[in-house]
A and B are shown apart, each in its own frame.
Chain A
Amino acid sequence: GAGVSQSPSNKVTEKGKDVELRCDPISGHTALYWYRQSLGQGLEFLIYFQGNSAPDKSGLPSDRFSAERTGGSVSTLTIQRTQQEDSAVYLCASSLARSSYEQYFGPGTRLTVT
């Protein structure tokens, strides 16, 4: 079956612009996570969705970052007024249930802010 997909695969944007990243989880997976990986770093947790609600937003680095999930499926991560330090690979993962630690990752979106 289809895995987690993310779009775009690459995004180059100018500092100060807004960007929107999309994640399509595996069908039927109720839990969805956003992570980001900066150069030379591990994956950093951003936000967790269970269905359409986000009980854990603790990893969002600033109020320029927001995310939503509609219909318990597709999620979008929006970064407003992008800064150079936002440059990273943004990864989305989904799992069957919130207690299922095995998360399936998409290929990521590489964001470059110039």
Chain B
Amino acid sequence: DQQVKQNSPSLSVQEGRISILNCDYTNSMFDYFLWYKKYPAEGPTFLISISSIKDKNEDGRFTVFLNKSAKHLSLHIVPSQPGDSAVYFCAASGDSWGKLQFGAGTQVVVTP
């Protein structure tokens, strides 16, 4: 069963505007959430994370919001840049091994 869901397979946004990526999860035991970015033919790279004890974490142009009651998190990228064009994966963990459950990814295309 898919415990982490990204329901938007793709997102197109103009350069300079805000990109908002959404992620929903079903397992209430998840206590740590991460976003990874992936370019073609490369492995995913860590972008930003948030612990379940927080509701917001910001790092430069990237902000992750967590709504535990709704089991929902989102990633905001502002302003969007052409180099942000990539596939973004939402991931969650709830065990001590650090095993990650991934969503299917959202392809972001930033147009000039």
- A-to-B contact residues, CB < 8 Å: 4, 31, 33, 35, 40-45, 48, 50, 55-56, 91, 93, 95, 98-108
Of the four ranges (under 10, 10 to 19, 20 to 34, 35 or more), the interface on chain B belongs to 20 to 34
| A90–chain B nearest beta-carbon distance, Å | 11
Which of B11-19, B77-85, B93-101 forms contacts with chain A?
B93-101
Known: A42-B89, A101-B49. A93 touches B43 (CB 8 A): yes
| B100 in contact with A50 (CB, 8 Å) | no
| A31 in contact with B43 (CB, 8 Å) | no
In the complex, B25 has a CB within 8 A of chain A: no
| B2–chain A nearest beta-carbon distance, Å | 8
Known: A4-B43, A101-B34. A56 touches B97 (CB 8 A): yes
Query: With A and B bound together, what is the CA distance between A35 and B44 in angstroms?
Result: 11
B5 closest partner in A (C-beta): A42
Main secondary structure of the interface of B (DSSP, over half): loop
B101 closest partner in A (C-beta): A45
| A105 in contact with B96 (CB, 8 Å) | no
| B29–chain A nearest beta-carbon distance, Å | 14
Q: Which of B32, B44, B49, B104 has the most chain A CB atoms inside 10 A of its CB? A: B44
Q: List 17 A-B contacts (CB under 8 A).
A: A33-B99, A35-B102, A41-B104, A42-B102, A45-B100, A56-B99, A91-B43, A93-B43, A98-B96, A99-B96, A100-B98, A101-B49, A102-B46, A103-B100, A105-B45, A106-B43, A107-B41
| B79–chain A nearest beta-carbon distance, Å | 25
Which residues 54-112 of B sit at the A interface, judged by CB distance below 8 A?
Answer: 89, 91, 93, 95-105
Query: With A and B bound together, what is the CA distance between A108 and B46 in angstroms?
Result: 15
Query: With A and B bound together, what is the CA distance between A45 and B91 in angstroms?
Result: 11
| A107 in contact with B43 (CB, 8 Å) | yes
In the complex, B4 has a CB within 8 A of chain A: yes
Query: With A and B bound together, what is the CA distance between A104 and B46 in angstroms?
Result: 7
| B39–chain A nearest beta-carbon distance, Å | 10
